[in-house]
Amino acid sequence: MTENAIEVADLTKSFGGVHAVDGVSMKVPCGERRAIIGPNGAGKTTFFNCVTGRLIPNSGKIFIFGKEVTRLAEHQRVAMGIGRTFQITNIFPKLTVLENILLAVQGTKRQKWVFHRSITSFAESQARATEELNRVGLAHRVSHTVQHLSYGERRQLEFALALACRPRLLLLDEPASGLSPGERQRIAEIISQLPRHITIILIEHDMSVAFGLADQVAVLHRGSIIFEGTPDQVQANSQVREVYFGDV
Amino acid sequence: MDWVVQALNGLSMAALLFFLASGFTLSFGLTRVANMAHGVFYLLGGYLGLSAFKVTGSFWLALVVGGAGTIAVSYLCERYLIRRTGENELAQVLLTVGIVYVIADIALFIWGGDSLTIPPPAFAEGPMDLPGGMVYPKYRLLLIVFGVIVGGLLWFLYKRTQLGAIVRAGVDNREMVNAIGINIVRLFGLIFSLAAFLAGMSGVVGGAFIGLYPGAEWEILILALVVVIVGGMGSLGGAILGSLIVGLVDSYGRWLFPELAHFMVFGPMAILLLFRPSGLFGREA
Amino acid sequence: MGSRILFVVMIILALLAPQVLDVFWVNTLIQILCLGLLALSVDLLLGQTGIFPFGQGAFFAVAAYTVAILQVRLGQPTYLAAPAGLAAAVILALVYGLAVRTSGVYFLLVTMAMGHIVWGVSVRWVALSGGDNGIGNIPYPQIGSFVIKGASPYYYVVLTVVVLCMLGYRVLIRSPFGVTLRGIRESESRMRALGYSVGAHKYVAFLISGALAGLAGVLYVYFNRLVSPSTASLHVSVEAALMVIIGGSGTIFGPFIGSAVILILRNYVSGHLVQWMTVMGLVFIVTVLWAPDGLLGLVRRIRIKESGRLRQKGSRRA
């Protein structure tokens, strides 16, 4: 039986009087590539934060791989196999690139509690770390501190952190934002080459990246889903065009 | 009967605590600066007031000099030292601790190490007869009355004036107040001065009650912090309620369990902090 | 490589010290080591984990008082009293560790209050602690029939323990656990999103820190042979924090360098200047405003400037 990667039922999250997420229901089957688009403030990042557990919703239920996680702590959900990027780069500024990746690799492993051996002595983690750095092209920066990295390199590292723990579910929050066209191309390529069993949910503003990668697209506006369909269907839908492009 | 006496003790303590805590909570709530020097301002205000009293014999002048002198010192510290730390909370704590060491040591040099008090004004001296055959120091009763007056004034300022509205908005959302175009630097300066004045004034007032001695700068600070933590940072109502709770608990605690007196006050505070870090009325941190 | 040679040189100097210095300075060195260890315990939380404790003195004092009570009041031998002191500190840390549920300034204030409780108990519970007079006449430490009497012998004991702690600390901060703590310091939210239970790690770090502080207390009480409420006062915790800042946070040597600066200031300057507390306060202020990375940070900055200059020279030649 193939369960859904994510199932969200009637999710609501309010701040004061503002319903950032307003009664959202969504099912994402395993292996699907789904894009979530919508104007600024539509509630996309808030939705991610509820799914990963960074925020507790006011009402509704969340299921990940068939298990209800609505009240489960963030780090426990992550252990089920979630990797995530943040819209505003959230990495470890004063640590080296290698330390950043190693932290991501050992995040769900028992290894993180070891205090009598050097972190570099764990061969398997080192190998995985090197592999991920190679994938995003940061291997040559391995011993540099993140503070000395360019913005583009930091976004790439952010992306590598999400992949490092071999997630089954990837939540990417505008992974290409602020990148040069060449860097965007690279990220898009990496995403499209990821194994098909990984479910990917992508928040993106760049339509070409979003539509190029997605099987299904959900359009969020003022906290509610106003349309769901294939990229072609979304592009043709007049309501979406009005909300997004403000024209006919 | 004893219970009533202890309650009055607690209330008079609460009044003093309120003077100290209200300044700190408003200051921290708005500026996010945890000013460890708040306790030494109490001491400084008291000592300055004492000197003024020795020269003039006037309690009221002592009050004015104590408050004004503290504002002056506080202004210098804020303008030339604290402002340099930007938003670095850690640096602010350490810096203000350094300021405490300096001021406390200079105070020790000038006023010596004995415990000093400022005699209360003539009309407030001596005991007062209360219904039920009780006798209680007039001064402490007046302190309670004074506390209510100051509390009322602050409440009015805070809730009913435009300045108070701006401060409340700032406590809630600092960036917003800045964006509206209000000179945030001047606002901060004003609040710092108000806090310093309240601290200095309570040194004069409390000097007649608790006394002025080296080491008071830390004990007073901690008591004020407990009140602010219990009541919630940035909440005037919290300062009032917190002062009452801490004052009464301290008073009854000392009376009933002298050996555990400190724990009585701090224990509940620590527990409260762990389960409701924002205090009784504070906003979520 | 350079730092290893430096370390060996320092060890040699440290071993020779009692032979060339008089008792006053040997005693000062012992204090530097004990309080430096306390400062190291602060830095495990501050420099590595990013949380600022303001009450480590509580563990220091609890360990000291436990040793004092056991040896003086109950006549227990050192080999029981010393471990008991350490154990008492750890037990207190198990309870006080709940403080890690708060963060930022609140954590500072909670730990400050917790430290103050210990002070309060030491003043008021006279039957247990001896009140303001404390407990004195603590005997010299004794293992079997071997009594460690005198500054020099005890100095070597303390030196050995402290060096072992420093080596252990070095292993700790290079381990996965250590890197995890630094990750927490840099971004707690990122760590949670990577699957770490941030609270659990902070708690364990707090326990280790409490143990180190307790060990420092045990070492100190046999040196001072007196424990009193001043051992539990806020000053002890504040000074420990100051030592970390002056020496350089996030390093192994920093806390000890800071300890040396503070103790030399205190022991030497106070003999010549009545207002040495003012000097201490000014040192605090100056350090915080103009050298927040401490002395080691200054050294690092100078080294970076130097290597930059050398690199420029080199490239010009090419």
Rounded average pLDDT over B129-134: 77
pTM value is: 0.89
Q: Which residues of C touch B101 (CB under 8 A)?
A: 277-278, 280-281, 284
| Domain boundaries along the sequence of chain B | 2-275
Task: Note the pLDDT tens digit of each residue in B75-101.
Answer: 999 888 888 887 777 788 889 999 999
The three-state DSSP-derived secondary structure of chain A is: CCCEEEEEEEEEEEECCEEEEEEEEEEEECCCEEEEECCCCCCHHHHHHHHHCCCCCCEEEEEECCEECCCCCHHHHHCCCEEECCCCCCCCCCCEHHHHHHHHHHCCCHHHHCCCCCHHHCHHHHHHHHHHHHHHCCHHHCCCEHHHCCHHHHHHHHHHHHHHCCCCEEEEECCCCCCCHHHHHHHHHHHHCCCCCCEEEEECCCHHHHHHHCCEEEEEECCEEEEEECHHHHHHCHHHHHHHHCCC
> Inter-chain contact C283–B98, Cβ cutoff 8 Å?
yes
Q: What is residue B277's DSSP assignment?
A: T
Say yes or no to pLDDT of C1 above 70: no
pLDDT exceeds 50 at position B281: yes
Facing C175 at nearest CB: one of A54, A74, A115? A115
For residue C183, what pLDDT is reported?
A: 95
| Residue C105 contacts residue B34 (beta carbons within 8 Å) | yes
* Lowest pLDDT segment from A145-159, B123-137, B142-156, B168-182: B168-182
Domain B2-275 sits in CATH at 1.10.3470
Minimal C-alpha gap between B263 and chain C (Å): 6
Angle at which helix B216-231 crosses helix B236-256, to 10 degrees, equals 120
Residue C39's pLDDT band, with cuts at 50, 70 and 90, is: very high
Q: How many CB pairs under 8 A join B and C?
A: 119
**What's the whole-number average pLDDT of chain B?**
84
Q: Give the span between the Cα atoms of C210 and C118, in whole angstroms.
A: 14
A4-22, pLDDT tens digit by residue? 888 898 899 988 778 888 8
Q: Which of C104, C105, C238 has the CB atom closest to B97's CB atom?
A: C238
DSSP annotation of C253 reads S
Smallest Cα–Cα separation from C89: which of C188, C192, C183, C219?
C219
Q: What is the pLDDT of residues C198-213, one digit of tens each?
A: 999 999 999 999 999 9
B249 has pLDDT over 60: yes
Lowest pLDDT segment from B89-103, B159-173, C72-86, C304-318:
C304-318
* Beta-strand relationship, A199-203 and A33-37: parallel
**Which pLDDT value is given to residue B246?**
86
| Token output for B161 | 């004036």
The rounded distance, in Å, linking the Cα atoms of C138 and C149 is 12
C125 contacts B259? CB cut-off 8 A: yes
Name residue, tokens 């430290």.
C115
Q: Output the six-digit token pair for B261.
A: 């007196």
**A118 in C contact zone (CB under 8 Å):** yes
- Measured CA to CA, the distance from residue B141 to residue B119 in angstroms comes to 15
pLDDT over 50 (residue B285)? no
Residue C109, judged by CB atoms within 10 A of its CB (0-12, 13-18, 19+), counts as: buried
User: Range with the lowest mean pLDDT among A97-106, C43-52, C269-278?
Assistant: C269-278
Interface test with B, best of C274, C284, C287 (most B CBs within 10 A): C284
Between C1 and A214, the more confident residue is A214
- Residues of A (130-159) whose Cβ lies below 8 Å from C: none
Q: Residue A142 burial (CB < 10 Å; 0-12/13-18/19+)?
A: middle
CA distance C278 to chain B (A): 4
Pair C302, C296: CB distance under 8 Å: no
Residue with tokens 């309240």: B198
Nearest C-alpha of chain A: how many angstroms from C29?
A: 29
**Residue from C52, C101, C117, C236 to probe the interface with B (highest B Cβ count within 10 Å):** C117
Is B259 touching C (CB cutoff 8 A)?
yes
Average pLDDT, integer, range C113-134: 86
Mutate to test the interface with C, among A98, A119, A120, A158 (most CBs of C within 10 A): A119
- Report ipTM (2 d.p.): 0.90
* Strand A169-173 with A33-37, pairing: unpaired
- At B212, which amino acid appears? L
Say yes or no to pLDDT of C235 above 90.
Answer: no
Residue with tokens 């056991």: C70
Helix (H) and strand (E) counts in chain B: 11, 2
Q: Parallel, antiparallel, or unpaired: how do β-strands A59-64 and A67-68 relate?
A: antiparallel
Nearest to A75 among C179, C183, C197 (CB): C197
CA-CA distance, C207 to C211, in Å (whole number)? Answer: 6
Six token digits for residue A202: 């992508």
Q: Which two tokens stand for residue B216?
A: 């008071």
Measured CA distances, C306 to C10, C293, C311 (Å): 24, 18, 9
Residues A147-176 have a mean pLDDT of 91
Would you list which residues of chain C are within 8 Å, Cβ to Cβ, of chain B? 52, 54, 98-99, 101-106, 108-110, 112-114, 116-117, 119-121, 123-126, 234, 238, 241-242, 245, 274-275, 277-278, 280-285, 288-289, 292
Q: Give the integer Cα–Cα distance in Å for C219 and C37.
A: 10
What is the model's pLDDT at position C317? 47
CB-CB neighbours of A111 under 10 Å? 19
